[in-house]
Amino acid sequence: MPKACHISACGLVTPFGQGMEFNLRGILDGNTAVSLVDGAGFGGETLPLGKISHLHPNNRFGHLMAMVCGQISKAIDNSLLQNEQTIFIISSTKGDIFKLPKPAFEIAKRILQSTIKPYHTPIIVSNACISGVASINLAAQYISNGYYKRAVVIGIDALSDFVAFGFQCLHAHSQMFCKPYSADRSGVNLGEAAAAVYLSQNPKEHTAYTALCSPGFTTNDANHISGPCREGLGLSRSISKALAKAGLRPGDIHLISAHGTATQFNDDMESLAFDRLGMGHVPVHSMKGFFGHTLGAAGVLETITSLMALEQQIAFKSLGAENLGTAKPINVCVGNVPMRIENVLKTASGFGGGNSSLILTKL
């Protein structure tokens, strides 16, 4: 069995602010980083969005990338970042969509190159909403297979009319603050963020917010391109395989950091998957009420909030969840609950039918 890898947070930019402390404070205070943005909708509607203020209006993606790269440079020594045994992986669904039809991911590579100067060209994962978790899994597998000694995974997506209008035309974006797992949930709130994690097997290279990462697996529902398999079979298979690989049983998981986008389909599907595995009683939360759905950043951002939960020994609330109502009952955290947390299961599901999961274990 491959050795589990150490993982720690090394960069975070959200509407709460930059770095771990602002974000942890926001979560513990129960505030949302989502705000009502006038005129954001296709018809001029006000939309609740996790929008970061003060991003350069003509270069939102580039500015966001530069900020997270700045944080990574401060968090990790250059000798490690520029080492030949270090690989960078960028997870993003649309990249710099604002420059269409120019290639959307070139700017991310350029900014990375100019701020950090990594040895290798970064790997770019564009796999819809599972990109973040899938990228962390890829990094952990590269390390456990000896391809590289360490990895930095950056998840990043910026808000755009392109994606907002797209979700609207699918009737998937709510005009209210999103309500994960609630009976009257009405869709996502989109958000933007850049989040970075550092993986290596050398514990000395990590500082705070560190845990063991056991990579999981990606599966496909083989059902519909923009809707999950109704029974959640693909997700439950992804979770089973991750547990087996980590040598754990469902009962060993203390907290599930789920995808919880607040669409009817996703939340029902997740409840069925968790219930099928006998995990209906395990505390589960969605962080989408705090940050919105940050797409390519989500898996990395929510891995970082899972690292926070492990450090603080607090299961964060599913902000926005009320009057719970999913296909199967699940144990949604409705407050910030101090509890013993040793193993966190992080899951993600996305357009294209993908499901991906990983497990974080307290050191």
Return the residues of window 24-83 that contact another protein according to CB under 8 A.
Answer: 42
Binding part of the chain for another protein, among 9-17, 68-76, 278-286, 351-359 by CB under 8 A, reads 351-359
Answer yes or no whether residue 97 interacts with another protein by CB under 8 A: yes
State which of residues 48, 50, 95, 289 lies at the interface with another protein (CB under 8 A): 95
State which of residues 353, 357, 360, 361 lies at the interface with another protein (CB under 8 A): 353
State which of residues 29, 79, 145, 340 lies at the interface with another protein (CB under 8 A): 145
Query: Helix, strand, coil proportions of the chain in percent (round to 5)?
Result: 35, 25, 40
Return the residues of window 152-211 that contact another protein according to CB under 8 A.
Answer: 161-162, 165-166, 168-170
Count of Cβ atoms closer than 10 Å to residue 313 Cβ: 14
DSSP 99: G
Binding part of the chain for another protein, among 6-14, 30-38, 265-273, 349-357 by CB under 8 A, reads 349-357
To another protein, the closest distance from the beta carbon of 153 in angstroms equals: 14
Answer yes or no whether residue 219 interacts with another protein by CB under 8 A: yes
Residue partners of 234: CB distance under 8 A and separation at least 6 = 219, 220, 221, 222, 223, 228, 349, 353, 354, 355
Instruction: Indicate the residue among 37 and 123 with the shorter CB distance to another protein.
Output: 123
Per-residue buried b or exposed e for 99-126, using 16+ beta carbons within 10 Å of the residue's own CB? eeeeebbebbbebbeebbebeeebbbbe
Answer yes or no whether residue 265 interacts with another protein by CB under 8 A: no
Answer yes or no whether residue 352 interacts with another protein by CB under 8 A: yes
Taking a C-beta distance cutoff of 8 angstroms, is the pair 131, 296 a contact?
yes
Amino acid identity, position 126: S
State which of residues 9, 24, 125, 301 lies at the interface with another protein (CB under 8 A): 125
Angle at 319 between CA 215 and CA 55, to 5 degrees: 80
Using alpha carbons, select from 64, 82, 73 the residue that is nearest to residue 13: 64
Instruction: Indicate the residue among 130 and 258 with the shorter CB distance to another protein.
Output: 130
Return the residues of window 282-311 that contact another protein according to CB under 8 A.
Answer: none
Answer yes or no whether residue 119 interacts with another protein by CB under 8 A: no
To another protein, the closest distance from the beta carbon of 7 in angstroms equals: 18
To another protein, the closest distance from the beta carbon of 234 in angstroms equals: 6
Angle at 124 between CA 118 and CA 126, to 5 degrees: 160
To another protein, the closest distance from the beta carbon of 5 in angstroms equals: 14
Answer yes or no whether residue 260 interacts with another protein by CB under 8 A: no
Query: Which residue bears the tokens 């970042």?
Result: 81
d(CA 333, CA 300): 21
Instruction: Indicate the residue among 236 and 326 with the shorter CB distance to another protein.
Output: 236
Using alpha carbons, select from 160, 129, 181 the residue that is nearest to residue 289: 181
Answer yes or no whether residue 133 interacts with another protein by CB under 8 A: no
Taking only Cα atoms into account, the Rg of the chain, rounded to an integer number of angstroms, comes to 18
Q: Within the chain, how many helices (H) and strands (E) appear? A: 10, 15
Answer yes or no whether residue 336 interacts with another protein by CB under 8 A: no
Answer yes or no whether residue 216 interacts with another protein by CB under 8 A: no
What residues line the site for another protein (CB under 8 A)? 42, 93-95, 97, 100-101, 103-105, 121, 123-128, 134, 138, 141-142, 145, 147, 161-162, 165-166, 168-170, 217-226, 234, 237, 241, 350-354
